Amino acid sequence: MKIYWPDVIHPSSNRSQFWKHEWDKHGTCAAQVDALNSERKYFGKSLDLYKQTDLNSVLQKFEIKSSINYYQLADFKDALTRIYGVVPKIQCLMPEQGENVQTIGQIELCFTKEDFHLPN
């Protein structure tokens, strides 16, 4: 969880508060599905789906990689939409003091409840 689901907005040593928030806000809604009806199942399945989609490799195919380079938000959306067939929701972090650009904070893809596939 520390590696794959960090709190990039409020980095701190007390990560359990962030994950509690994620469960309270998203997990309890997802718990309507039997395969996600506990914290362990919710976070486990979420991490499985993250690894299955392999966002980093997909973005690298379009030469978008973590670096000091700058990209347009449309570059991310176009690349991910071409590969997955759905438009991702991308949330950016506001620039920190002295910076002029935003940082990607979160990329969301919605999966079907029945079989955890990206909808066509």
**pLDDT at 12 (0 to 100):** 67
User: Is 49 within a domain?
Assistant: yes
Q: Identify whether 10 is part of a domain.
A: no
Q: Is residue 1 part of a domain?
A: no
Residues 72 and 120 in one domain: yes
Place of tokens 């380079």: 69
Mean pLDDT of 88-107: 86
Are both 48 and 93 inside the same structural domain? no
pLDDT tens figures, 33-59: 999 999 999 999 999 999 999 998 999
Domain count, the chain: 2
Check whether residue 49 and residue 73 sit in a common domain: no
**For the segment 56-97, what is each residue's pLDDT rounded down to a tens digit?**
899 999 988 877 778 889 999 999 999 999 999 999 888 878
Which candidate, 83, 89, 23, 8, places its Cα nearest to that of 53? 83
Q: How far apart are CA 97 and CA 61, in angstroms?
A: 32
DSSP 39-63: HHHHHHHHHHHHHHHTHHHHHHHTT
- Domain housing 109: 68-120
